[in-house]
Amino acid sequence: MPIDGTPTPLTPAPVRIFTSLLCLAICDALGAPAEFQARGTFPLITTLQPNANFNLPPGCWTDDTSQALCIAESLLAGTWSLEDQAGRYVKWWKQGYLSVTGRCFDIGTATRKALGIWARSPDSLGAVTTPAEEDVLLTVAGKLGERQYQGNGSLMRVLPIALAFWKYPEEAGRLARESSRTTHPNEMCQEACEFYVRVICYILRHTEGQECHDLSFGKGDLLRMMRWWEWKDEELRRRLGDGKFVNKEEGEIKTTGWVLDTLEAALWVFFNTSSFEDGAIKVVNFGDDADTVAAIYGGLVGAWHAKEEGFWVGRVKEWRDGLVKREIVEGVAERLKATEFKPMAGYGNNILIE
């Protein structure tokens, strides 16, 4: 299938930031009812539906959005601290912080195990870097660094780092890798986070004039970025590095919880559809880990297709309007887009916010 050659609209970065985070939540909620369902075994999903997995009404987002909001709130607090991020995840897990229902109703295996380690750390809810933080990270790495823990739980939440540090792509990539260490320390998980964040930064920089303000900037440019990316993980390089995955048949695309399958699926849908709406419908109907793959797709496609006018229309507007506790997501998105983040002098130092 030929790649859609339509260039991304020249939309201001604040609009893209807001739309990207909101689209993550929308796609999460849209895909949640299809989670755990085999592809082709359920009626086509085109609207927000009840989530029978957890007895939730239509429009409820899940752990993908909650943890992304945790990272965003940690950044907006003005410091870079993995301990603070982990503390917010623990608070979500134990107390329902930033949950659409006020409780944690779904959590991944690796995340639960990692947060159990953080919860036993006496300073796990602190807001500054301490020697204890690195001790916990080493414990997490020792227990959850093997191949069987190459899940998508850190990739699904990493978007706010790109939205905050899009002007500084190298810094954003470094911080994305760091953020994965709290629960998913495996190298593949870290690199998937770094790459995804760099793609979002690439989009925002090109459309805001940070690179070239190219009126013809299109998806082909993103494919070229994938080809020159210096992949560290060999499996990621083999599956994604040459860009040929975009030519796979739909039946070859897997939406398991493996981070490589997840990233490939989200990218495949992005490259093989021409609108947010068409891609969202396609990705959620893949089933399996539909909410997470859809959330990752949503963050990417929201950044790409965002427009000041004409985006929130028709079915897309219906999805937005049906999002439960939409004001929480929009409130965080508004603050993210209004905040000027600057790179840090070093790990653990305060983020300078103007």
| Residue 29 CA from chain centroid, whole number | 14
By the 10 Å C-beta count (0-12 exposed, 13-18 middle, 19+ buried), 317 is classed as exposed
3-state secondary structure of 350: strand
Ramachandran sector of residue 222 (left: φ over 0; alpha: ψ -120 to 50; beta: rest): alpha
Q: Please, what's the largest Cα pairwise distance for the chain? A: 54
Rounded-to-integer distance, Cα 309 and Cα 19, Å: 12
User: For the CA atoms of the chain, what is the radius of gyration?
Assistant: 19
- Rounded to 5 degrees, φ, ψ at 21 are -65, -40
Binding-site positions for Mg(2+):
62-64, 289, 291-292
Residue with token string 């085109």: 46
Q: What's the CA angle centered on 264, arms 17 and 88, to 5 degrees?
A: 50
Dihedral sign, Cα of residue 152, residue 156, residue 157, residue 161? positive
Binding-site positions:
62-64, 289, 291-292
Rounded-to-integer distance, Cα 246 and Cα 64, Å: 25
The helix (H) or strand (E) run that includes residue 341 is strand 341-342
